[in-house]
Structure 1
């Protein structure tokens, strides 16, 4: 079986796709380079925003045309959109052979292989993803927060934490296969609890893995981020000084309507506490503009917060209603053009701040982990998450190198290895 995987959405989807690759590889299946080589194409979908679903439909349209000329190819849709829309996908695209929702992702590989009349048995083969320096691992699935705008609890289900021993063993295996950085994933990693092991304890256990050099994690919820986690970030050298904490809005009225369960004052206090404990920490965030009921004053509160906190980077999204959510019942009263304006204003301010932050690094020497090389250019990353590019050699990959920074852009640094 030759397979092609197209992944849309968050890093948890990337992790799920990697899981499929590992299983397929163990059974002797091969990764195709394009549609023409594939026996099956697997579309791993996202349902968090309407744009992600439209992207999936567009891809299915292209594959449908290909299948008309190559009827033997199988089409499989998995993930969050598959969970939300289910059989409706088949009604729109009769060419789809199999639909597997996010809640059944653990059985996806075997269900996909069952489409082919082959007696699969595990083989000792080289993994398709063996050489990755940075690896993701899902530590929990689902979410219990029910933010009013978010479809995740409906498509991924309630929170379920994965066995701590299973996680640590999988991380150890990744490190033995060349990984040097592990990123722990969950909709809300701060809620991780398996028996008597909480998230801070899980990080301690993961940090004990020999030859593992860096640990990151995402995503965090402000209401659950504990003092224990901040202490771990301050004292465990393997934990990177980089944390993503979605703020969404700085208006308490909007935060309440979003069902976020914290105030802006609480969020700001959390940032101050983090920066006191971990002075070089880079804090990134998510912001939604144009949420129902967001006035000019509410938006200005958020813009002021962006200027005050000076995030290391942010993702800003225009609100769009998602089916089944509480916010979908609200009046979407912010005009689309105003959403676009607010989006542009936040992005402009964020870019201005990012340039100021990275410009301070000009002339400095940064220790970075070399992740990959392409056309003689190494892509690396600082501990606090900044991408760095420099000319180099293949043997640097997986190692720490020092780079003297010569040029700075919004999201990237460029320099020479010293």
Structure 2
């Protein structure tokens, strides 16, 4: 049997990254070898996202290039997976007849059965991925979403919210630790609403923390309406949980928040934000903002701009609104011009970068603990508990090691320093 090479292009969020990892593991166990060169692959899987139009455009653009590759090599196997594959399967099959299989986000567990039609199970070769090369691992604790924010397609492509059996999660965590993983990152569209047989998210964190080999725990994403006092107290007292919370605001305007169906006001968000900061002074809170939602007025944007300045986020991810099929917002007439959206995006991004850099300046001349994720060309890329990237020079292979670094320079989204 020849060495079958596979390439996976992942578009979208960490949930997709995790799904891609699972597909890669299945292929590896069938004797396939991963390649980073798409042109050399025998199997190419495009794991798609549908949260924004730009992600779909990227997927179709890649599929266009793959058609040319398949014209040269008719034996090339091409698969499309993920959220876009869930709701646009018929369109993909019509536009891209050269695609061999389409597997939606809800059906990712069927990948083993699907790929067996193209890659036979090789009992003699069991070339698992090199688990020990990883430092952190994503573990999905729930699938789907039941919030139905008016701009979001996720509930339609991933289905209603379903929590995974905590016993299965604990098994996966233990396996990761046995593989040498240092940091566990728990994933869900809204981890705060996790509940399986009476075990809530805080209790799940406690169970994971009891595993001796677990060194660090992160999680995402949180919803402001469901983040409990119990969870805040757990983060404050549990030393294994990293000091970072990603808490999407989306808008500082109550009118827009209502239109988005976010189920909280800016004042409620601000109260929660301050409660977290007071209980956990060293916490880094990052957030998401959508610019150009249908009907967003100059005042609505100014409310968002003022909220960003008032709250002082450690990092802000700013997205231009993209209408998504099936969502309620897609039915709204958008009077905000593209030029205005670009202008507002630029203004907020520039200001938020100034804020983030100023916050990071508190680390100058301080020595902090970081976990090294990779080393390339004698430069280590690490991350501190607050989820800020830290770079430093080293000639040692420190990947997976926890070290101390004295910070000498800061940028809005990263820092650099000297190994101590």
Please, what TM-score do these two structures have when normalized by structure 2? Answer: 0.97
Map 1:6-405 → 2, pairs under 5 A: 6-116=9-119, 118-121=120-123, 124-405=126-407
CA distance in 2, matches of 1:33, 1:2: 10
Name the residue aligned to 2:410: 408
For the 8 Å contact 1:26–1:122, the answer to whether it is kept is: no
For the 8 Å contact 2:30–2:121, the answer to whether it is kept is: no
Q: 1:4 aligns with which of 2, 7, 12?
A: 7
For the 8 Å contact 2:25–2:128, the answer to whether it is kept is: no
Give unpaired runs (5+ residues) of structure 2: none
Q: Report the 3-state secondary structure (helix = DSSP H, G, I; strand = E; otherwise coil) of the residue aligned with 1:94.
A: coil
Question: 1:361 deviation in Å?
Answer: 1.3
> RMSD of the alignment, in Å?
1.3
Q: Report the 3-state secondary structure (helix = DSSP H, G, I; strand = E; otherwise coil) of the residue aligned with 2:365.
A: coil
For the 8 Å contact 1:289–1:319, the answer to whether it is kept is: yes
For the 8 Å contact 1:76–1:112, the answer to whether it is kept is: no
For the 8 Å contact 2:184–2:217, the answer to whether it is kept is: yes
1:324-369 deviation digits (Å, cap 9, x = unpaired) = 0000111111111101111111101110101111122111111111
CA distance in 1, matches of 2:330, 2:124: 46
CA distance in 1, matches of 2:84, 2:199: 32
Question: 1:25 deviation in Å?
Answer: 2.1
Give unpaired runs (5+ residues) of structure 1: none
Question: 1:121 deviation in Å?
Answer: 4.2
CA distance in 1, matches of 2:218, 2:36: 30
Question: 1:129 deviation in Å?
Answer: 4.2
Question: 1:412 deviation in Å?
Answer: 1.3
1:374-418 deviation digits (Å, cap 9, x = unpaired) = 111111011001100111244422121111111111211111101
Q: Report the 3-state secondary structure (helix = DSSP H, G, I; strand = E; otherwise coil) of the residue aligned with 2:363.
A: coil
CA distance in 2, matches of 1:368, 1:61: 42
For the 8 Å contact 1:21–1:129, the answer to whether it is kept is: no
1:99-154 deviation digits (Å, cap 9, x = unpaired) = 000110111133123223x2444965442444110111111000000000000000
Q: Report the 3-state secondary structure (helix = DSSP H, G, I; strand = E; otherwise coil) of the residue aligned with 2:371.
A: strand
1:188-243 deviation digits (Å, cap 9, x = unpaired) = 00111110111001111111112211101000000000111101100100001100
For the 8 Å contact 1:22–1:128, the answer to whether it is kept is: no
Q: Report the 3-state secondary structure (helix = DSSP H, G, I; strand = E; otherwise coil) of the residue aligned with 1:216.
A: strand
1:290-334 deviation digits (Å, cap 9, x = unpaired) = 111111111111100000000000111111210000001111111
148 and 343 in structure 1: CA distance in 2 versus 1, 3 angstrom threshold: same
CA distance in 2, matches of 1:188, 1:97: 33
Q: Report the 3-state secondary structure (helix = DSSP H, G, I; strand = E; otherwise coil) of the residue aligned with 1:222.
A: coil
Please, what TM-score do these two structures have when normalized by structure 1? Answer: 0.97
128 and 82 in structure 1: CA distance in 2 versus 1, 3 angstrom threshold: farther
For the 8 Å contact 1:27–1:122, the answer to whether it is kept is: no
